[in-house]
Structure 1
Amino acid sequence: MADHPDFQRLPWVQKLLRDPSLAFVPETPRSDRKGMAPNTMFNAVLYKPGAIDAHVSFQRPCAEPDNSSGIEQCMLFSIGPHVDGKVGRAHGGFNSLILDQLTGSAAFFAVPDSPPPATATLTVDYKAPISTPCVILARAWVIEVSGRKIWVRGVIEDGEGKVMASGKALFIAGRPGTL
């Protein structure tokens, strides 16, 4: 999806995607024991024209001072008006959903040998509205791991680094032997 026209027309996106330190993360849905693929909310509902028109996931080095792993998980989104709460403005719940998804991804990569973690808490601070349609960058990084507890921070920002929403989450890694 990195070649989507919304990504191709923005110089800041092109510069970002050409960064040699990026490691693209392919989406490979796997089925659980009931045959259901994960992330149905995204795959069946949001990855549609007018909602999330395009997306790309990648990892890169993280310069945030509270980062514990040196890596951040990122997603670039082209979003449309079907995520609006108010005309021309993304719904606040959409912001929370994006932060939950990405902080969860960071938590998952922090404990790769454990079953997927579950969100215990997520606190979101809304800084500025996300005007739609637009392209946004979401980033998340692990700040601490203690046993099965994983604390993660995340932000949603525009192409100039302006933060529209930030969050802090606590995830609990699954117990070995469970899904």
Structure 2
Amino acid sequence: MTEPKKYSPAIEASLAHFRSIPWVNDVHLSDNAFQIVDGNLSRAITQPGNGHSLTGETWNTEKTIAHLITMYRPAAPDREAGQNCGGGELRRIYTFGTGLNAHPNLLHGGVIATILDSAMGNVIHQALRPRGATFTVLLNITYKKPVSTPGTVLVRSSVVQVEGRKIWARGAVEGGDGEVHATAEGMWLMAKANL
């Protein structure tokens, strides 16, 4: 009998929280094609305390982003090329408090843009494993329905196209009923390798 995988204490706490939400547990946490990403880049302070501080520190409270978990499903290998050509799907589940509101009990649109940018940037790293940093150069967002707070949402993201150093990705914010709150398309640029 195999013991269940153990994660960092923060991930274990978020897993316990998300298992108590039926639509998250029954649909997303039970999907064995997706693996939980431990060492969540959005919650880990990097570059000696200066990187990822927005979601790793400032927005890492019960009133802001109370819980966050990232899951990834790689794309099937390209049969002709024999390699993964991107295309996997990343899912992030967020539970928000009321500390990031614009209007009463409505999540600020800038926060929605930020979580889309973050999830889309992270799927690039999961799918392509670039050697260097990537930077957002274009992000188009369509807001369809407000996100109520406190509450939980799912963000899906995937790589759409790669051309040289340019990478295109898309994402969506969804509620528990599957209704889409916002969609995004964007382009990232891989940093030039140091010579």
Q: Which residue, out of 2, 12, 15, partners 2:23? A: 12
Displacement of 1:20: 1.1
2:155 counterpart letter in structure 1: A
Provide the C-alpha distance between the structure 2 equivalents of 1:149 and 1:47, rounded to a whole number of angstroms: 31
Query: 1:87-128: per-residue Cα shift (whole Å, max 9, x none)?
Result: 110000000000110111122234314212000010110000
TM-score calculated relative to the size of structure 2: 0.81
Higher share of residues assigned strand: 1
Q: Which residue, out of 144, 161, 179, partners 2:161? A: 144
Aligned to 2:124: 107
Q: Which has the larger radius of gyration?
A: 2
> Which consecutive residues of structure 1, in runs of 5 or more, have no partner in the other structure?
63-67
Contact map agreement 1:46 1:52 (CA 8 A) in 2: yes
Provide the C-alpha distance between the structure 2 equivalents of 1:155 and 1:89, rounded to a whole number of angstroms: 17
1:2-151 alignment to 2 at 5 Å? 2-5=14-17, 7-15=18-26, 16-27=28-39, 29=44, 31-32=46-47, 35-60=48-73, 69-151=86-168
TM-score calculated relative to the size of structure 1: 0.87
Distance 1:108 1:61, change over 3 A: closer
Q: How many residues align?
A: 170
Provide the C-alpha distance between the structure 1 equivalents of 2:116 and 2:138, rounded to a whole number of angstroms: 12
Aligned to 1:65: none
Contact map agreement 1:21 1:60 (CA 8 A) in 2: yes
SS of aligned partner of 1:42:
helix
Name the Cα RMSD after superposition.
Answer: 1.9
Contact map agreement 1:111 1:173 (CA 8 A) in 2: no
Distance 1:9 1:111, change over 3 A: closer
Query: 1:118-175: per-residue Cα shift (whole Å, max 9, x none)?
Result: 0001011000000001110001100000000000000000112111010001000111
